[in-house]
Amino acid sequence: MVTGGAGFIGSNLVVRLVGEGAVVRVVDAMLPLLGGNPFNLAPVKDDIELRQVDLRDLSAAQSAVEGMEYIFNLAGNVSHLDSMQEPLTDLTINVNAQVNTLEACRAKNRDAMIVYTSTRQLYGVPQYLPVDERHPVSPIDVNGINKLAAEHYHTLYARVYDMKTCSLRLTNTYGPRQLIRHARQGFIGWFVNRALLGEKIQLFGGGGQKRDFTFVDDAVEAMLVAATNPVCRGEVYNLNGERLSLEEVARILLALCPKASVEKVPFPPEKKKIDIGDYFGSAGKFIEATGWGAHVTVADGLAKMVEYYRANQSHYLEKP
Ligand SMILES: NC(=O)c1ccc[n+]([C@@H]2O[C@H](COP(=O)([O-])OP(=O)(O)OC[C@H]3O[C@@H](n4cnc5c(N)ncnc54)[C@H](O)[C@@H]3O)[C@@H](O)[C@H]2O)c1
């Protein structure tokens, strides 16, 4: 089962799972501002069971988890900005739905292996780089607090109830099927939107901020590794990827979409207050445990992304 399986990362995982011969149940509430998009699942629509249900409903969660051997728990709200404007909505999506899923498994399916997509956002402003799992957690926005709580629930259910869970702290993940129609889910999707349409890519504060970037296929591989390697049970791991500044990312896009341009602008105050500055992580713990590695360069990943949207643009610029 993939929760949030019609969204960006979830749908890429579903396509990979179907390709591997898995029997897949997709659970997604198709919440309006988030990345769920029926077109994301078009290549596999006849090969999956799709349930449009909201995991904030415990009985829906209980029926969804029954019979599932592996549960990839990706349902979530990604927007940091929205979490500040509607903290209670973020709380219900990022915490209530997660506790429901765990409680549903405790009652109906204790043997399932659950992989949860946590986030590097819970570290807050880094005290040192690269950030490893020993770095203190100190979220600077509501989204980070709620994702941290949900991660702790997963670890607690492993420790107290002997359930099989693993949390992966994803960093900036990008690729085909990502939401690009608005700017509320982070900058990469929006940069790609501006580049495709030949518009200005705005760099807040100059664009010197460094981040690390995981192409979605590498993130999907990490989830499969975490699900199937027993050493990962009860653990929490960082993922990582190539390190670049936001300006370097924009310049790669300009080379792919020459009609676009770059503009350096001051940071909007509401965004500056929840910006973590430079961040890049160490995935050493996960690499040592499993041998996983992020292999796709940002140049190659963005080229694949632009190619995908050039072929399928109409499905991503309007609300599905
Ligand atoms: N994209 C990134 O860079 C990134 C970074 C760190 C962590 N993550 C985590 O990865 C996961 C997937 O992110 P994404 O980028 O694919 O987001 P997305 O918005 O594309 O997908 C999330 C999906 O979850 C679904 N959903 C939300 N609440 C639900 C509920 N209560 N019941 C059922 N479905 C629900 C939405 O409808 C949406 O389709 C999230 O948990 C996110 O926090 C993503």
Q: Whose CA is nearest to atom 11 of ligand 1?
A: 74
Q: List pLDDT tens digits, range 268-291.
A: 888 888 888 899 999 999 999 999
Identify the helix (H) or strand (E) that includes residue 274: none
pTM of the model: 0.98
End-to-end CA distance of the chain: 23
What is the pLDDT averaged over residues 65-78?
98
**Ligand 1 pocket: which of 1, 30, 31 to mutate (most atoms within 8 A of CB):** 31
Q: What is the pLDDT of residue 244?
A: 98
Q: What is the pLDDT of residue 272?
A: 84
The share of the chain scoring above pLDDT 70, in percent, equals 100
E-only strand ranges, 140-199: 164-170, 172-174
Whole-number average pLDDT of the chain? 97
**Ligand 1 pocket: which of 33, 101, 103, 117 to mutate (most atoms within 8 A of CB):** 117
**Domains along the chain with CATH numbers:** 2-178+213-242+280-296 (3.40.50.720)
Question: Which residues sit with their C-beta closer than 6 Å to ligand 1?
Answer: 3-4, 6-10, 27-31, 34-36, 54-56, 74-76, 78, 93, 97, 117, 119, 147, 170, 172-173, 179
Q: What is the pLDDT of residue 319?
A: 75
Band the pLDDT of 159: cuts 50, 70, 90. Answer: very high
Band the pLDDT of 96: cuts 50, 70, 90. Answer: very high
Contact 281, 169 (CB under 8 A): yes
The share of the chain scoring above pLDDT 90, in percent, equals 93
Q: What is the pLDDT of residue 269?
A: 86
Q: List pLDDT tens digits, range 214-228.
A: 999 999 999 999 999
Ligand 1 atom closest to 31 (CA): 37
Distance 9 CA to ligand 1 centre (A): 7
Distance 94 CA to ligand 1 centre (A): 9
Cα 194 versus chain centre, distance: 21
Band the pLDDT of 174: cuts 50, 70, 90. Answer: very high
Distance 35 CA to ligand 1 centre (A): 7
Contact 77, 143 (CB under 8 A): yes
What is the pLDDT averaged over residues 141-151?
97
Measured CA to CA, the distance from residue 74 to residue 77 in angstroms comes to: 9
Residue 320 has pLDDT above 80, yes or no: no
